[in-house]
Amino acid sequence: MKRNYKIYQMSFLETKENYKELNKDEYDRRFHKAVCLRITHSPWKPCLRLLTTILYSNRDAFLGLADCEVEIETIDNDVERFKLNKLKPFYEKRDKYIDNIDDFWKVVLSQNTDFANYIRASDFKYVDNITKVVVKWLIWDENSNADINVRDFSITFHFKGIEHDFPEQSITKVFKMTKMQSNKDFDDDDEAGEDNETIGVEEVLTSEPVDIEWPQSYESINPSLIEDKRSPQGKKNYRQGMKSFFGWFKWTGKKPGKEFPHGEDLASLLCDDIYPYCVKYYTEAQRDLEDEYSDSEDDNSDEEPLDLPKPEGEDEDGESDKLASKKRRV
């Protein structure tokens, strides 16, 4: 009954899908049926009273608000499309400048504590080899059709190689909003009947697995190399591999608990936060480096002669490595 109450409430204000299917006659029919069915169930009396009061006295206003909830989604999509079309040439230009800054992505990713929360500390050996990150929205594709979801996107990583361990490679992973059965928590008791089809659909982020060459040092946890996935050690290694950054490339969003954990959140972090604000993160990281330098040098002798800086940036590499690693999750 609680479940049905929620259905009626949601029909009017939340689940646009439901509302679309309910014309006024149908609404009346269902609502009166609900009232008749439950009229003698006293635990629900106050709910019903509240509900009936709301629905009867302000019905047109609530129907109007339900329409508004449908309309705002269209507006949100229009705004998103407008924004992304403005950003396309901007990001292309920005990415070219970033290409000319050594270690830009290494600095951004190694200093980002949110990013570090998703992957294993040992993965940073390979994350530090990422020389390029590019997010593209699928609506930018000239061949994309009109009803593509404005939130679908791809992320491309370019890794430089490590001799005898890890090959240079570029990997693109595509993410799409997909309608899935909802996990919403309805009391599934007495009436799992006629209303089932109107609830329980939500849009979630999903992806297809993509092939990425794993480092040789990850041989023991590389899922495609584990021969016996059922032995205790095999299981353990498999799970380790799935939790690594490389495991994320296999993430689909359709097998919760059995793949890279919170893969959708890592995708959103990269797409909505790290990529758009990468310059901010880069400058913040530089400031942190500055503070570290000044802290560590304050005690030194005061009149040491200064080597003139080398233009290619080799000098600070070692130190920036050391500092970056301090910020990582361990």
Contact 236, 226 (CB under 8 A): no
CB of 40 to a copy of itself, least distance (A): 6
Q: Minimum Å distance from CB 163 to a copy of itself?
A: 25
Question: Pattern of binders to a copy of itself over 63-92, x per CB under 8 A?
Answer: -xx--xx-xx--x--xx--xx--xx--x--
- Least Cα distance to 212 among 259, 177, 244, 250 occurs for 250
Strands (E), the chain: 130-137, 153-159, 169-181, 201-207
Judge whether 248 and 220 are in contact, CB under 8 Å: no
Residues 6+ apart with CB under 8 A from 202: 179, 180, 182, 184
Near a copy of itself by CB under 8 A: residue from 113, 301, 318, 330 = 301
- Applying CB under 8 A, which of residues 3, 9, 167, 180 lies at the interface with a copy of itself? 9
In angstroms, rounded to a whole number, what is the distance separating the alpha carbons of residues 164 and 169? 14
Site string for a copy of itself, 87-116 (x = CB under 8 A): x--x--xx-xxxxxxx--------------
Q: Which of 91, 88, 89, 126 is nearest to 109 (CA)?
A: 126
Query: Which parts of 241-270 interact with a copy of itself (CB under 8 A)?
Result: none
d(CA 151, CA 135): 12
Q: Which listed residue (113, 183, 224, 300) binds a copy of itself by CB under 8 A?
A: 300
Binding to a copy of itself, residues 31-60 (CB under 8 A):
39-50, 52-54, 56-58, 60
Is residue 241 within 8 A of residue 247, CB to CB? The reply is yes
Least CB distance to a copy of itself at residue 288 (A)? 11
The residue (of 119 and 324) whose beta carbon lies closer to a copy of itself is 324
Strands 169-181 and 201-207: antiparallel
Draw the binding track, 147-186, toward a copy of itself (x: CB under 8 A; -: no contact). ----------------------------------------
Query: Which of 224, 310, 318, 330 is in the footprint of a copy of itself by CB under 8 A?
Result: 310
Q: Of 33 and 86, which CB lies nearer to a copy of itself in the complex structure?
A: 86
Between residue 269 and residue 298, which ones bind a copy of itself under the rule CB under 8 A? 279, 282-283, 286-287, 289-290, 293-294, 296-298
Separation of alpha carbons 304 and 297, rounded Å? 11
